[in-house]
Structure 1
Amino acid sequence: MIVIPAIDLMDGKAVRLVRGRRDNVKIYHENPIELVEYFNSLNIKRIHLVDLDAAFSGGDKNNLKLIEEMVQKSKAMVEVGGGMRSLEDVERVFSSGAARVVIGTMPVKNPEEFDRVVELFRDRIIAGVDVDNGFVRILGWQEDSKIEYISFLLKMRDKGIKEAIITDISRDGTLSGVNEEFYREIAVRTDLDIIVSGGVRDIDDIKRVKRLEQFGVIGVIVGKAMYEKTLSLEEAMELCHA
Protein backbone atom coordinates (compact mmCIF):
# COMPACT_ATOMS: atom_id res chain seq x y z
CA MET A 1 0.00 0.00 0.00
CA ILE A 2 1.25 3.48 -0.80
CA VAL A 3 1.11 6.63 1.30
CA ILE A 4 0.41 9.65 -0.90
CA PRO A 5 0.99 13.09 0.62
CA ALA A 6 -1.34 15.80 -0.70
CA ILE A 7 -0.56 19.39 -1.54
CA ASP A 8 -3.58 21.62 -2.15
CA LEU A 9 -2.62 24.77 -4.02
CA MET A 10 -4.29 28.15 -3.71
CA ASP A 11 -2.67 31.42 -4.79
CA GLY A 12 0.65 29.61 -5.06
CA LYS A 13 0.59 28.39 -1.47
CA ALA A 14 0.00 24.99 0.16
CA VAL A 15 -3.31 25.15 2.02
CA ARG A 16 -5.99 22.90 3.49
CA LEU A 17 -9.73 23.43 3.53
CA VAL A 18 -12.24 21.89 5.92
CA ARG A 19 -14.92 19.96 3.98
CA GLY A 20 -13.87 21.83 0.84
CA ARG A 21 -15.08 25.24 2.01
CA ARG A 22 -13.19 28.20 0.59
CA ASP A 23 -14.10 30.29 3.63
CA ASN A 24 -12.35 27.76 5.87
CA VAL A 25 -8.78 27.82 4.58
CA LYS A 26 -5.49 27.53 6.41
CA ILE A 27 -2.11 28.22 4.81
CA TYR A 28 0.47 25.58 5.72
CA HIS A 29 3.35 26.51 3.47
CA GLU A 30 4.23 29.65 1.57
CA ASN A 31 6.55 27.72 -0.76
CA PRO A 32 5.21 24.32 -1.88
CA ILE A 33 8.51 23.57 -3.67
CA GLU A 34 10.06 23.03 -0.24
CA LEU A 35 7.41 20.40 0.52
CA VAL A 36 8.38 18.55 -2.66
CA GLU A 37 12.01 18.60 -1.57
CA TYR A 38 10.99 17.21 1.83
CA PHE A 39 9.05 14.40 0.14
CA ASN A 40 12.12 13.67 -2.02
CA SER A 41 14.18 13.24 1.15
CA LEU A 42 11.71 10.56 2.34
CA ASN A 43 11.68 8.76 -1.03
CA ILE A 44 7.95 9.32 -1.41
CA LYS A 45 6.73 7.46 -4.50
CA ARG A 46 3.67 9.52 -5.37
CA ILE A 47 2.37 13.04 -4.69
CA HIS A 48 -1.23 14.21 -4.99
CA LEU A 49 -1.58 17.83 -6.15
CA VAL A 50 -4.90 19.64 -6.19
CA ASP A 51 -5.21 22.98 -7.98
CA LEU A 52 -7.97 24.56 -5.90
CA ASP A 53 -7.90 27.78 -7.91
CA ALA A 54 -8.61 25.81 -11.10
CA ALA A 55 -11.30 23.74 -9.35
CA PHE A 56 -13.19 26.76 -8.02
CA SER A 57 -12.79 28.93 -11.12
CA GLY A 58 -13.53 26.20 -13.66
CA GLY A 59 -10.01 26.58 -15.04
CA ASP A 60 -10.00 30.38 -15.49
CA LYS A 61 -7.36 30.66 -12.78
CA ASN A 62 -4.69 28.06 -12.11
CA ASN A 63 -1.31 27.20 -10.61
CA LEU A 64 0.08 25.49 -13.71
CA LYS A 65 3.45 27.23 -13.73
CA LEU A 66 4.01 26.26 -10.11
CA ILE A 67 2.84 22.69 -10.80
CA GLU A 68 5.34 22.42 -13.66
CA GLU A 69 8.13 23.56 -11.34
CA MET A 70 7.01 21.11 -8.64
CA VAL A 71 6.91 18.21 -11.10
CA GLN A 72 10.42 19.05 -12.32
CA LYS A 73 11.73 19.05 -8.73
CA SER A 74 9.91 15.88 -7.68
CA LYS A 75 11.45 12.42 -7.76
CA ALA A 76 7.97 10.99 -7.21
CA MET A 77 5.17 10.39 -9.68
CA VAL A 78 2.84 13.40 -9.56
CA GLU A 79 -0.90 13.23 -10.08
CA VAL A 80 -2.90 16.43 -10.50
CA GLY A 81 -6.58 17.17 -9.93
CA GLY A 82 -8.72 20.28 -9.97
CA GLY A 83 -10.54 22.16 -12.71
CA MET A 84 -10.20 19.69 -15.56
CA ARG A 85 -13.30 20.42 -17.60
CA SER A 86 -12.02 19.73 -21.14
CA LEU A 87 -9.53 17.75 -23.19
CA GLU A 88 -7.50 20.95 -23.53
CA ASP A 89 -7.29 21.28 -19.72
CA VAL A 90 -6.08 17.68 -19.43
CA GLU A 91 -3.46 18.14 -22.17
CA ARG A 92 -2.23 21.31 -20.47
CA VAL A 93 -1.70 19.46 -17.19
CA PHE A 94 0.08 16.60 -18.93
CA SER A 95 2.28 19.19 -20.65
CA SER A 96 3.36 20.36 -17.20
CA GLY A 97 4.87 16.91 -16.68
CA ALA A 98 2.15 15.31 -14.53
CA ALA A 99 2.01 11.52 -14.79
CA ARG A 100 -1.71 11.19 -14.06
CA VAL A 101 -4.77 13.40 -13.90
CA VAL A 102 -7.66 13.11 -11.48
CA ILE A 103 -11.03 13.83 -13.11
CA GLY A 104 -14.37 14.15 -11.35
CA THR A 105 -16.67 16.79 -12.86
CA MET A 106 -16.18 16.21 -16.59
CA PRO A 107 -17.95 12.80 -16.79
CA VAL A 108 -21.06 14.44 -15.29
CA LYS A 109 -21.04 17.83 -17.00
CA ASN A 110 -19.52 16.91 -20.34
CA PRO A 111 -19.62 13.13 -20.92
CA GLU A 112 -18.77 13.37 -24.62
CA GLU A 113 -15.62 15.33 -23.85
CA PHE A 114 -14.73 12.84 -21.13
CA ASP A 115 -15.04 10.00 -23.66
CA ARG A 116 -12.54 11.82 -25.89
CA VAL A 117 -10.14 12.13 -22.96
CA VAL A 118 -10.55 8.45 -22.09
CA GLU A 119 -9.88 7.45 -25.68
CA LEU A 120 -6.53 9.25 -25.62
CA PHE A 121 -5.37 8.84 -22.03
CA ARG A 122 -7.31 5.96 -20.45
CA ASP A 123 -4.36 4.51 -18.50
CA ARG A 124 -3.37 7.91 -17.11
CA ILE A 125 -6.79 8.87 -15.73
CA ILE A 126 -7.83 8.46 -12.12
CA ALA A 127 -11.51 8.88 -11.28
CA GLY A 128 -11.87 11.47 -8.53
CA VAL A 129 -15.09 10.67 -6.70
CA ASP A 130 -16.13 13.01 -3.90
CA VAL A 131 -18.94 11.50 -1.86
CA ASP A 132 -21.42 13.24 0.43
CA ASN A 133 -24.47 11.41 1.84
CA GLY A 134 -24.20 8.71 -0.79
CA PHE A 135 -24.02 11.05 -3.79
CA VAL A 136 -21.21 12.43 -5.94
CA ARG A 137 -20.40 16.12 -5.56
CA ILE A 138 -18.78 18.01 -8.44
CA LEU A 139 -17.37 21.46 -9.33
CA GLY A 140 -15.03 21.55 -6.36
CA TRP A 141 -17.76 20.03 -4.17
CA GLN A 142 -20.03 22.99 -4.85
CA GLU A 143 -22.75 21.01 -6.65
CA ASP A 144 -24.60 17.78 -5.90
CA SER A 145 -24.64 15.69 -9.10
CA LYS A 146 -27.61 13.63 -7.77
CA ILE A 147 -25.68 10.54 -8.95
CA GLU A 148 -25.30 7.63 -6.53
CA TYR A 149 -21.59 7.01 -5.99
CA ILE A 150 -21.42 3.23 -6.57
CA SER A 151 -23.26 3.49 -9.90
CA PHE A 152 -20.89 6.32 -10.92
CA LEU A 153 -17.86 4.18 -10.05
CA LEU A 154 -19.22 1.22 -12.01
CA LYS A 155 -19.69 3.49 -15.00
CA MET A 156 -16.05 4.61 -14.70
CA ARG A 157 -14.96 0.97 -14.50
CA ASP A 158 -16.97 0.12 -17.61
CA LYS A 159 -15.11 2.87 -19.48
CA GLY A 160 -11.81 1.18 -18.64
CA ILE A 161 -10.75 3.39 -15.73
CA LYS A 162 -8.84 1.24 -13.25
CA GLU A 163 -8.24 3.51 -10.29
CA ALA A 164 -10.36 5.83 -8.16
CA ILE A 165 -9.64 8.28 -5.37
CA ILE A 166 -12.65 8.35 -3.07
CA THR A 167 -13.00 11.36 -0.82
CA ASP A 168 -15.32 11.06 2.16
CA ILE A 169 -16.40 14.71 2.26
CA SER A 170 -17.99 14.44 5.70
CA ARG A 171 -14.56 13.68 7.15
CA ASP A 172 -12.21 15.55 4.86
CA GLY A 173 -9.97 18.00 6.70
CA THR A 174 -11.57 17.10 10.05
CA LEU A 175 -8.99 14.64 11.47
CA SER A 176 -11.97 12.55 12.60
CA GLY A 177 -10.70 9.15 11.41
CA VAL A 178 -11.23 6.95 8.35
CA ASN A 179 -14.60 5.25 7.79
CA GLU A 180 -13.29 1.72 7.24
CA GLU A 181 -16.67 0.15 6.32
CA PHE A 182 -17.35 2.80 3.69
CA TYR A 183 -14.11 2.02 1.84
CA ARG A 184 -14.38 -1.74 2.22
CA GLU A 185 -17.82 -1.70 0.59
CA ILE A 186 -16.59 0.43 -2.32
CA ALA A 187 -13.57 -1.78 -2.97
CA VAL A 188 -15.64 -4.98 -2.87
CA ARG A 189 -18.54 -3.70 -4.98
CA THR A 190 -16.56 -1.93 -7.71
CA ASP A 191 -13.47 -4.09 -8.20
CA LEU A 192 -11.43 -0.91 -8.80
CA ASP A 193 -8.08 0.02 -7.28
CA ILE A 194 -9.23 2.35 -4.49
CA ILE A 195 -7.32 5.18 -2.84
CA VAL A 196 -8.66 6.44 0.48
CA SER A 197 -8.98 10.18 1.03
CA GLY A 198 -10.57 12.00 3.95
CA GLY A 199 -10.44 11.83 7.71
CA VAL A 200 -6.95 10.41 8.28
CA ARG A 201 -5.82 11.45 11.74
CA ASP A 202 -3.00 9.23 12.96
CA ILE A 203 -1.12 5.96 12.53
CA ASP A 204 -4.19 3.97 13.64
CA ASP A 205 -6.00 5.20 10.53
CA ILE A 206 -3.12 4.03 8.35
CA LYS A 207 -3.42 0.61 10.04
CA ARG A 208 -7.17 0.58 9.28
CA VAL A 209 -6.57 1.34 5.63
CA LYS A 210 -3.81 -1.28 5.41
CA ARG A 211 -6.33 -3.90 6.57
CA LEU A 212 -8.35 -3.07 3.45
CA GLU A 213 -5.54 -3.99 1.07
CA GLN A 214 -6.98 -7.49 0.67
CA PHE A 215 -10.20 -5.95 -0.75
CA GLY A 216 -8.49 -3.75 -3.36
CA VAL A 217 -7.50 -0.60 -1.48
CA ILE A 218 -4.05 0.33 -2.82
CA GLY A 219 -3.25 3.61 -1.11
CA VAL A 220 -4.14 6.45 1.22
CA ILE A 221 -3.86 10.20 0.78
CA VAL A 222 -2.63 12.14 3.79
CA GLY A 223 -3.00 15.88 4.11
CA LYS A 224 -4.05 17.73 7.22
CA ALA A 225 -2.79 15.01 9.61
CA MET A 226 0.69 15.44 8.14
CA TYR A 227 0.56 19.25 8.34
CA GLU A 228 -0.87 19.30 11.86
CA LYS A 229 1.65 16.62 12.89
CA THR A 230 -0.94 14.20 14.29
CA LEU A 231 0.63 11.69 11.87
CA SER A 232 4.31 11.10 11.13
CA LEU A 233 4.78 10.60 7.40
CA GLU A 234 7.93 8.58 8.11
CA GLU A 235 6.03 6.24 10.46
CA ALA A 236 3.18 5.84 7.97
CA MET A 237 5.59 4.90 5.19
CA GLU A 238 7.41 2.47 7.44
CA LEU A 239 4.14 0.72 8.31
CA CYS A 240 3.05 0.46 4.68
CA HIS A 241 6.36 -1.00 3.56
CA ALA A 242 6.52 -3.47 6.46
Structure 2
Amino acid sequence: MHVIPVLDLKGGEVVRAAKGRRDQYRPIVTPLSASSDVVAVAEGLRTLYPFPIFYVADLDAIEGREPNSAALDRLRAMAEPPQLWVDAGFADAERLSAALAKPSVYPVLGTESQHDDALLQRYRDQPNLILSLDFFGDGFRGPASFLDKPELWPRRIIVMTLAKVGAAAGPDFERLEEIRAKAGDREIIAAGGVRNEADIRTLSSLGIAAALVATSLHDGTLTPEQLASLRA
Protein backbone atom coordinates (compact mmCIF):
# COMPACT_ATOMS: atom_id res chain seq x y z
CA MET A 1 0.00 0.00 0.00
CA HIS A 2 1.68 3.19 -1.20
CA VAL A 3 1.24 6.64 0.31
CA ILE A 4 1.75 9.35 -2.31
CA PRO A 5 2.13 12.95 -1.08
CA VAL A 6 0.13 15.65 -2.83
CA LEU A 7 1.50 19.01 -3.97
CA ASP A 8 -1.28 21.43 -4.98
CA LEU A 9 0.25 24.27 -6.99
CA LYS A 10 -1.22 27.72 -7.45
CA GLY A 11 0.73 30.80 -8.46
CA GLY A 12 3.99 28.90 -8.22
CA GLU A 13 3.43 27.95 -4.56
CA VAL A 14 2.12 24.91 -2.73
CA VAL A 15 -1.34 25.62 -1.32
CA ARG A 16 -3.47 23.78 1.21
CA ALA A 17 -6.56 22.26 -0.36
CA ALA A 18 -9.96 22.12 1.33
CA LYS A 19 -13.04 20.38 -0.09
CA GLY A 20 -12.33 21.40 -3.67
CA ARG A 21 -13.06 25.10 -2.99
CA ARG A 22 -10.11 26.27 -5.02
CA ASP A 23 -10.82 29.98 -4.68
CA GLN A 24 -10.16 29.57 -0.94
CA TYR A 25 -6.83 27.74 -1.23
CA ARG A 26 -3.95 29.65 0.40
CA PRO A 27 -0.16 29.07 0.55
CA ILE A 28 0.52 26.15 2.83
CA VAL A 29 1.77 26.60 6.38
CA THR A 30 3.44 23.40 7.55
CA PRO A 31 5.97 22.35 10.18
CA LEU A 32 7.75 20.43 7.44
CA SER A 33 8.92 23.54 5.56
CA ALA A 34 9.81 27.15 6.30
CA SER A 35 7.98 28.30 3.16
CA SER A 36 5.42 27.25 0.57
CA ASP A 37 8.15 26.84 -2.08
CA VAL A 38 7.48 23.62 -3.98
CA VAL A 39 10.94 22.09 -3.57
CA ALA A 40 11.12 23.09 0.10
CA VAL A 41 7.77 21.41 0.76
CA ALA A 42 8.75 18.30 -1.20
CA GLU A 43 12.02 18.05 0.72
CA GLY A 44 10.12 18.55 3.98
CA LEU A 45 7.77 15.71 3.12
CA ARG A 46 10.79 13.52 2.44
CA THR A 47 11.96 14.05 6.03
CA LEU A 48 9.02 11.81 6.96
CA TYR A 49 9.76 9.10 4.40
CA PRO A 50 11.81 8.89 1.16
CA PHE A 51 8.75 9.15 -1.05
CA PRO A 52 9.59 8.16 -4.65
CA ILE A 53 6.36 9.58 -6.12
CA PHE A 54 4.57 12.91 -5.77
CA TYR A 55 1.13 13.76 -7.13
CA VAL A 56 0.99 17.33 -8.44
CA ALA A 57 -2.24 19.19 -9.13
CA ASP A 58 -1.42 22.25 -11.24
CA LEU A 59 -4.52 24.21 -10.28
CA ASP A 60 -3.69 27.14 -12.56
CA ALA A 61 -3.47 24.86 -15.59
CA ILE A 62 -6.63 22.99 -14.57
CA GLU A 63 -8.51 26.30 -14.42
CA GLY A 64 -7.17 27.50 -17.79
CA ARG A 65 -4.36 29.77 -16.62
CA GLU A 66 -0.61 29.56 -17.29
CA PRO A 67 0.79 26.20 -16.15
CA ASN A 68 3.30 26.05 -13.30
CA SER A 69 5.98 24.66 -15.63
CA ALA A 70 8.93 26.18 -13.76
CA ALA A 71 7.85 24.57 -10.49
CA LEU A 72 7.56 21.17 -12.17
CA ASP A 73 10.99 21.58 -13.75
CA ARG A 74 12.46 22.32 -10.31
CA LEU A 75 10.92 19.17 -8.89
CA ARG A 76 12.38 17.15 -11.76
CA ALA A 77 15.81 18.69 -11.02
CA MET A 78 15.85 17.59 -7.36
CA ALA A 79 18.89 15.60 -6.19
CA GLU A 80 16.77 12.44 -6.14
CA PRO A 81 14.14 13.27 -8.76
CA PRO A 82 10.71 11.89 -7.89
CA GLN A 83 8.26 10.35 -10.26
CA LEU A 84 5.62 13.02 -10.83
CA TRP A 85 1.95 12.23 -11.38
CA VAL A 86 0.73 15.51 -12.86
CA ASP A 87 -2.81 16.72 -13.40
CA ALA A 88 -2.45 19.90 -15.43
CA GLY A 89 -5.90 20.03 -17.00
CA PHE A 90 -4.84 18.06 -20.08
CA ALA A 91 -7.60 18.52 -22.63
CA ASP A 92 -5.84 18.33 -26.02
CA ALA A 93 -3.53 15.87 -27.73
CA GLU A 94 -0.62 18.28 -28.13
CA ARG A 95 -0.18 19.00 -24.41
CA LEU A 96 -0.84 15.42 -23.39
CA SER A 97 1.68 14.06 -25.90
CA ALA A 98 4.29 16.55 -24.70
CA ALA A 99 3.77 15.47 -21.09
CA LEU A 100 3.99 11.78 -21.98
CA ALA A 101 7.34 12.45 -23.65
CA LYS A 102 8.91 13.89 -20.47
CA PRO A 103 11.00 11.51 -18.37
CA SER A 104 9.58 10.80 -14.91
CA VAL A 105 6.26 12.55 -15.71
CA TYR A 106 3.05 10.51 -15.56
CA PRO A 107 0.22 12.71 -16.88
CA VAL A 108 -3.12 12.44 -15.11
CA LEU A 109 -6.16 12.75 -17.36
CA GLY A 110 -8.75 14.36 -15.09
CA THR A 111 -12.35 13.83 -16.11
CA GLU A 112 -13.32 17.34 -15.00
CA SER A 113 -11.18 18.71 -17.87
CA GLN A 114 -12.69 16.49 -20.62
CA HIS A 115 -15.43 17.35 -23.09
CA ASP A 116 -15.60 13.77 -24.39
CA ASP A 117 -13.63 10.54 -24.17
CA ALA A 118 -11.56 11.10 -27.34
CA LEU A 119 -8.24 11.59 -25.53
CA LEU A 120 -8.80 8.54 -23.38
CA GLN A 121 -9.69 6.46 -26.44
CA ARG A 122 -6.50 7.59 -28.17
CA TYR A 123 -4.00 7.32 -25.30
CA ARG A 124 -5.40 4.72 -22.90
CA ASP A 125 -2.73 2.14 -23.86
CA GLN A 126 0.10 4.51 -22.94
CA PRO A 127 1.69 2.89 -19.85
CA ASN A 128 2.37 6.25 -18.17
CA LEU A 129 -1.18 7.58 -18.49
CA ILE A 130 -3.27 7.78 -15.31
CA LEU A 131 -7.02 8.43 -15.29
CA SER A 132 -8.61 10.51 -12.52
CA LEU A 133 -12.34 10.04 -11.97
CA ASP A 134 -13.27 13.38 -10.40
CA PHE A 135 -16.13 13.65 -7.92
CA PHE A 136 -17.17 17.02 -6.48
CA GLY A 137 -19.80 17.79 -3.87
CA ASP A 138 -22.47 17.72 -6.59
CA GLY A 139 -21.35 14.38 -8.03
CA PHE A 140 -19.23 13.15 -10.91
CA ARG A 141 -17.56 15.82 -13.04
CA GLY A 142 -16.96 14.69 -16.61
CA PRO A 143 -18.56 12.82 -19.53
CA ALA A 144 -20.70 9.88 -18.40
CA SER A 145 -18.79 7.49 -20.69
CA PHE A 146 -15.82 7.60 -18.29
CA LEU A 147 -17.92 5.77 -15.70
CA ASP A 148 -20.04 3.74 -18.11
CA LYS A 149 -17.14 2.21 -20.09
CA PRO A 150 -14.56 0.77 -17.69
CA GLU A 151 -13.08 -1.12 -20.65
CA LEU A 152 -11.53 2.25 -21.66
CA TRP A 153 -9.71 2.69 -18.36
CA PRO A 154 -5.90 2.59 -18.33
CA ARG A 155 -3.85 0.58 -15.83
CA ARG A 156 -4.08 3.17 -13.02
CA ILE A 157 -7.25 4.99 -11.91
CA ILE A 158 -7.46 7.69 -9.25
CA VAL A 159 -10.82 8.02 -7.50
CA MET A 160 -10.73 11.70 -6.57
CA THR A 161 -13.35 12.74 -4.01
CA LEU A 162 -12.72 16.48 -3.76
CA ALA A 163 -15.42 17.13 -1.17
CA LYS A 164 -13.36 15.08 1.29
CA VAL A 165 -9.99 16.71 0.54
CA GLY A 166 -8.62 18.40 3.65
CA ALA A 167 -11.84 17.67 5.56
CA ALA A 168 -10.59 14.87 7.84
CA ALA A 169 -13.81 13.06 7.02
CA GLY A 170 -12.37 9.70 6.02
CA PRO A 171 -12.08 8.20 2.53
CA ASP A 172 -15.12 7.50 0.39
CA PHE A 173 -14.97 3.76 1.00
CA GLU A 174 -18.31 3.01 -0.68
CA ARG A 175 -17.37 4.73 -3.93
CA LEU A 176 -13.91 3.16 -3.90
CA GLU A 177 -15.42 -0.32 -3.53
CA GLU A 178 -17.81 0.41 -6.38
CA ILE A 179 -15.03 1.50 -8.74
CA ARG A 180 -12.78 -1.34 -7.57
CA ALA A 181 -15.48 -3.86 -8.49
CA LYS A 182 -15.58 -2.51 -12.06
CA ALA A 183 -11.83 -2.15 -12.51
CA GLY A 184 -10.71 -5.76 -12.96
CA ASP A 185 -6.97 -6.04 -12.32
CA ARG A 186 -6.31 -2.30 -12.65
CA GLU A 187 -4.75 -0.31 -9.81
CA ILE A 188 -7.12 1.95 -7.86
CA ILE A 189 -5.72 4.98 -6.05
CA ALA A 190 -7.77 6.69 -3.33
CA ALA A 191 -7.75 10.48 -3.08
CA GLY A 192 -9.50 12.56 -0.45
CA GLY A 193 -10.18 12.16 3.26
CA VAL A 194 -7.32 9.92 4.43
CA ARG A 195 -6.90 10.70 8.15
CA ASN A 196 -4.53 8.18 9.66
CA GLU A 197 -2.87 4.77 9.56
CA ALA A 198 -6.18 3.00 10.21
CA ASP A 199 -7.67 4.50 7.04
CA ILE A 200 -4.64 3.37 5.05
CA ARG A 201 -4.93 -0.17 6.36
CA THR A 202 -8.65 -0.28 5.64
CA LEU A 203 -8.01 0.87 2.09
CA SER A 204 -5.38 -1.84 1.70
CA SER A 205 -7.84 -4.47 2.91
CA LEU A 206 -10.23 -3.34 0.15
CA GLY A 207 -7.58 -3.91 -2.51
CA ILE A 208 -6.74 -0.23 -3.04
CA ALA A 209 -3.18 0.09 -4.36
CA ALA A 210 -2.27 3.57 -3.11
CA ALA A 211 -3.58 6.73 -1.46
CA LEU A 212 -2.94 10.37 -2.26
CA VAL A 213 -2.34 12.16 1.03
CA ALA A 214 -1.57 15.71 2.17
CA THR A 215 -3.25 16.94 5.36
CA SER A 216 -2.40 13.95 7.55
CA LEU A 217 1.27 14.25 6.59
CA HIS A 218 1.49 17.96 7.36
CA ASP A 219 -0.56 17.63 10.56
CA GLY A 220 1.50 14.72 11.84
CA THR A 221 -1.29 12.17 12.10
CA LEU A 222 0.74 9.92 9.80
CA THR A 223 4.14 9.60 11.45
CA PRO A 224 7.50 8.46 10.05
CA GLU A 225 7.20 5.26 12.09
CA GLN A 226 3.77 4.49 10.66
CA LEU A 227 4.91 5.26 7.12
CA ALA A 228 7.86 2.93 7.57
CA SER A 229 5.59 0.16 8.90
CA LEU A 230 3.33 0.63 5.89
CA ARG A 231 6.39 0.53 3.59
CA ALA A 232 4.83 3.55 1.94
Report the TM-score when normalising by structure 1: 0.81
Query: How far apart are residue 50 of structure 1 and its match?
Result: 0.8
How many Å separate the matches in 2 of 1:224 and 1:210?
Answer: 19
Determine which of 63, 69, 80 is the counterpart of 1:64. Answer: 69
In structure 2, relative to structure 1, the CA distance for the partners of 1:236 and 1:129 (3 Å cut) is farther
1:199 counterpart SS class: coil
Q: 2:41 aligns with which of 8, 17, 35?
A: 35
Q: Which has the higher helix share?
A: 1
Specify which of 72, 76, 81 is matched with residue 87 of structure 2.
81
Q: Which residue of 1 aligns with 2:31?
A: none
SS at match of 1:50: strand
Corresponding position of 1:194: 188
Judge conservation of contact 1:77–1:99 (CA < 8 Å) in 2.
Answer: yes
Q: What SS does the corresponding residue of 2:209 show, helix, strand or coil? A: strand
Partner of 1:179: 172
What is the one-letter code of the residue matched to 1:12?
A: G
Q: CA deviation at 1:54?
A: 0.2
Q: Which runs of 5+ in 2 are unaligned?
A: 29-34
Q: Specify the code of the residue in structure 2 equivalent to 1:65.
A: A
Deviations 1:114-154 (A, max 9, x none): 433346xx21111111124784214xxxxxx4x2xxx6246
Q: Of 182, 198, 203, which residue of structure 2 is paired with 1:209?
A: 203
Structure 2: distance between partners of 1:83 and 1:71: 19
Select the residue among 49, 57, 63 that pairs with 1:50.
Answer: 57
- The separation in 2 between residues aligned to 1:45 and 1:212, in whole angstroms, is 23
2:204 is paired with a residue whose SS is helix
| CA 1:88–1:123: 2 relative to 1, 3 Å | same
Alignment pair present for 1:241 and 2:231: yes
**For the residues of structure 2 that align with 1:106 and 1:95, how far apart are their CA atoms?**
23
Higher RCO structure, 1 or 2 (CA under 8 Å, sep 6+):
2
Aligned to 1:227: 218
Give the residue type in structure 2 aligned to 1:52: L
Q: CA deviation at 1:219?
A: 0.3
- Distance in 1 (CA, whole Å) between partners of 2:23 and 2:97 is 30
Count of residue pairs the alignment pairs up:
223
Q: Give structure 1 stretches of 5+ with no counterpart.
A: 139-144
CA RMSD of aligned residues (A): 2.5
Greater share of residues in strand: 1
Structure 1 pair 98–87 and aligned structure 2 pair: CA distance change class (3 A) = farther
The offset of 1:236, in angstroms, is 4.1
1:133 and 1:36 mapped to 2: Cα distance?
Answer: 29
User: Which residue in 2 is equivalent to 1:169?
Assistant: 162
CA contact (8 A) 2:112 2:141 kept: no
Identity %: 24
8 Å contact 1:168–1:198 — kept in the other structure?
yes
Q: Counterpart of 1:91?
A: 97
Of 111, 121, 128 in structure 1, the residue corresponding to residue 117 of structure 2 is 111
Structure-1 separation of matches of 2:98 and 2:70: 11
Task: Give me the whole-angstrom Cα distance separating, in 2, the residues matched to 1:221 and 1:32.
Answer: 17
Query: What are the superposed Cα offsets for residues 28-81 of structure 1, whole Å, 9 maximum, x if unpaired?
Result: 142110122234452212110110000011xx4110121011022143321111
Q: 1:82 to 1:235 in 2, by over 3 A?
A: farther
The residue identity in structure 1 corresponding to 2:174 is: E
